């Protein structure tokens, strides 16, 4: 499958219309933009092939530009000269956790990038309602519906990690989440649902998608049943519902559990990890961010990899002294500067292991961890862990989670949930131009300010 599947005759016109209006029309009641109604042949998908083609447009559906997921994390730093040279005020602000991130009032590209898949998924779901589900199209119909539900849920989930506070069972009903756009009507006014409503929506739709999607997709760029299970595991994890996180990670692994032996990879390659490798369940990405191109790996994190750990050579590249030294990242499962943040079997193993450790099953948790690390160390060099203290097992799993899932858009969410546990709380620090910037555990800046233009268009309350 190519990145963009061959479009139907009507699809090119549909896509053109979406790209002209979608960004403007995602923020609430926008009637003023709709006075001139385009001809119906441009805006209405007519067949299941049209609907599938909308979902297959990977630039919109599989890639997002989500601030904070990596820019705000603690896995890297920017040398002073790199930060000083940034032209985007918002990127500079994100790096130092400035409260008014978007004070340059730029076009809200990150918000639009997150919500465009929501809009298109809603168009697809509404389009299916106008088509009859019959025996000859039932499989295709169900697959399209499941994919649309999954894409919408994924976008809601990513938006929650950026623009909402961490999930708290005691306050979720009374804490603002994000707008849940469940239809394509541009004139419907956006409102921010509670965090509980948002996560309930994500979970309900992912469970529905899992029942509709195939076990084996045509390509990993398309959603599948194990992908839905994987996203459910990830969702329950950030909710600190570790029992369900482990159950759904296991459900995913029951359908796909392949691991790559890192011994067969070429560490001298610019991007050693193949884009569509055997571990990938569902391929999505965060488009290039400052830290994935010019960021330097946190030195303490880099030193935590042993010399026999193949990730040390496969994940990192050395910058020359002339460019400030340090180590950059080259280990994306996207095999490019784009950062892979899809579902893969290594993440599922780590979620299942964490779930087992939190339940007190330290020995079983280590079985999962050792199975993973055996494929990450040089042949014959890994000594399996044998730890009797379950608390130590959990700490080890979280350490290895950070080392394994580096730059996958997961660290920010991990910081938010782990800050709720005194043992794992962490104050983030930046040393920049002689100044120290800090982000304390539980700081409300863990929910980014919504772009000003979104506030102006929709009237939703600001963080």
* pLDDT tens-place string over residues 183-220: 999 888 889 999 999 999 999 999 999 999 999 999 99
Helices (H) then strands (E): counts for the chain:
19, 13
Beta strand 63-64 with 285-286: parallel, antiparallel or unpaired? parallel
Bridge partners (DSSP) listed for residue 309: 377
- Is residue 51 predicted with pLDDT exceeding 80? yes
Measured at the CA of 461, the angle between CA 88 and CA 196, to 5 degrees, comes to 105
Give residue 5's pLDDT: 43
Instruction: Give the rounded percent of residues in the chain with a pLDDT score beyond 70.
Output: 88
What pLDDT band is residue 14 in, cutting at 50, 70 and 90?
A: low
Give residue 112's pLDDT: 85
Helix (H, G, I), strand (E, B) or coil at 153: helix
What pLDDT band is residue 41 in, cutting at 50, 70 and 90?
A: very low
Give residue 38's pLDDT: 45
* Spatial CA neighbour of 339 closest among 411, 264, 399, 278: 411
Token representation of residue 374 = 């055996």
Give residue 15's pLDDT: 52
Give residue 426's pLDDT: 97
Which positions ≥6 away from 312 have C-beta within 8 Å?
A: 302, 305, 306
Q: Are 157 and 206 in contact (CB under 8 A)?
A: no
Q: What is the DSSP string of 247-279?
A: HHHHHHHHH------GGGS-TTSSS-S-TT-TT
Give residue 39's pLDDT: 46
Q: How many CB atoms lie within 10 A of CB 54?
A: 23
How do the domains of the chain map onto residue ranges? Answer: 11-264+340-458
Mean pLDDT value across residues 294-303: 94
Beta strand 76-77 with 296-297: parallel, antiparallel or unpaired? antiparallel
Give residue 111's pLDDT: 86
Which positions ≥6 away from 407 have C-beta within 8 Å?
A: 70, 75, 291, 292, 329, 331, 332, 339
> Alpha-carbon distance 446 to 441, whole Å?
9
Give residue 45's pLDDT: 77
> Alpha-carbon distance 53 to 66, whole Å?
24
Give residue 177's pLDDT: 97
Give residue 8's pLDDT: 46
* pLDDT tens-place string over residues 386-427: 999 999 999 999 999 999 999 999 999 999 999 999 999 999
* pLDDT tens-place string over residues 24-38: 455 554 444 334 444
Give residue 292's pLDDT: 67
Instruction: Give the rounded percent of residues in the chain with a pLDDT score beyond 90.
Output: 75
Mean pLDDT value across residues 49-71: 89
- Is residue 103 predicted with pLDDT exceeding 70? no
* pLDDT tens-place string over residues 314-343: 999 999 988 889 999 999 999 988 899 999
Q: Are 425 and 441 in contact (CB under 8 A)?
A: yes
Give residue 294's pLDDT: 85
Q: Are 314 and 331 in contact (CB under 8 A)?
A: yes
* pLDDT tens-place string over residues 150-170: 999 999 999 999 999 999 999
Q: Give the DSSP H/E element, type plus range, for residue 396.
A: helix 390-404
Domain 11-264+340-458 carries which CATH code? 1.25.40.390
What pLDDT band is residue 22 in, cutting at 50, 70 and 90?
A: low
Average pLDDT, the chain: 89
Q: Are 55 and 277 in contact (CB under 8 A)?
A: no
Give residue 392's pLDDT: 97
> Alpha-carbon distance 122 to 200, whole Å?
18
Exposure on the CB side of residue 66, measured as CA atoms within 13 A: 37
* Spatial CA neighbour of 317 closest among 262, 270, 261: 270
Which positions ≥6 away from 365 have C-beta within 8 Å?
A: 353, 354, 356, 357, 390, 393, 394, 397
* pLDDT tens-place string over residues 243-277: 999 999 999 999 999 999 999 999 999 999 999 99
Give residue 26's pLDDT: 54
């Amino acid at each position: 499958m190519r990145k963009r599947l061959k479009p139907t005759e009507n699809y090119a016109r549909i896509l053109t219309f979406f790209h002209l209006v979608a960004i403007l029309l995602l923020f609430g009641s926008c009637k003023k933009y709709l006075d001139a109604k385009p001809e119906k042949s441009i805006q209405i998908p007519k067949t299941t092939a049209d609907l599938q083609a909308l979902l297959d447009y990977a630039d919109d559906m599989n890639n997002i530009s989500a601030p904070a997921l990596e820019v705000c994390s603690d896995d890297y730093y920017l040398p002073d000269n790199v930060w000083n040279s940034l032209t985007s005020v918002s990127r500079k602000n994100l790096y130092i956790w400035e409260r008014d991130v978007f004070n340059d009032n730029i076009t809200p590209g990150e918000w639009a990038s997150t919500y465009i898949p929501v809009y298109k998924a809603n168009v697809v779901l509404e389009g299916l309602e106008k088509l009859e589900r019959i025996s000859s199209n039932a499989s295709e119909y169900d697959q399209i519906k499941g994919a649309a539900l999954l894409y919408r849920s994924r976008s809601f989930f990513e938006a929650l990690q950026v623009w909402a506070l961490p999930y708290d069972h005691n306050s979720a009903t009374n804490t603002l989440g994000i707008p849940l756009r469940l239809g394509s009507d541009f004139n419907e006014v956006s409102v921010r649902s509670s965090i509980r409503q948002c996560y309930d929506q994500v979970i309900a739709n992912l469970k529905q998608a899992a029942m509709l999607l195939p076990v084996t997709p045509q390509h990993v760029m398309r959603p599948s049943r194990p992908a839905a299970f994987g996203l459910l595991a990830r969702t329950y994890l950030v909710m600190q519902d570790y029992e369900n996180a482990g159950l759904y990670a296991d459900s995913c692994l029951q359908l796909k559990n392949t691991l790559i032996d890192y011994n067969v990879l070429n560490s001298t390659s610019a991007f050693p990890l193949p884009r569509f490798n055997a571990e990938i369940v569902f391929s999505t990405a965060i488009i290039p961010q400052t830290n994935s191109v010019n960021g330097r790996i946190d030195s303490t994190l880099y030193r935590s990899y042993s010399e026999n750990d193949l990730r040390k050579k496969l994940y990192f590249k050395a910058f020359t002294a002339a460019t400030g030294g340090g180590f950059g990242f080259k280990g994306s499962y996207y095999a490019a500067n784009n950062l892979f943040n899809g579902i893969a079997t290594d993440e599922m193993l780590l979620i299942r292991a964490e779930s087992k450790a939190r339940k007190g099953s330290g020995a079983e948790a280590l079985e999962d961890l050792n199975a993973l690390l055996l494929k990450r160390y040089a042949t014959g060099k890994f000594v399996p862990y044998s730890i009797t203290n379950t608390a130590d097992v959990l700490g080890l799993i979280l350490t290895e989670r950070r080392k394994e899932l580096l730059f996958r858009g997961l660290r920010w969410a991990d910081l938010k949930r782990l800050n709720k546990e005194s043992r794992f709380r962490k104050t983030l620090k930046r040393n920049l131009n002689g100044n120290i910037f800090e982000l304390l555990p539980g700081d409300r800046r863990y929910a980014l300010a919504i772009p000003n233009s979104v506030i102006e268009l929709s009237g939703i309350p600001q963080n």
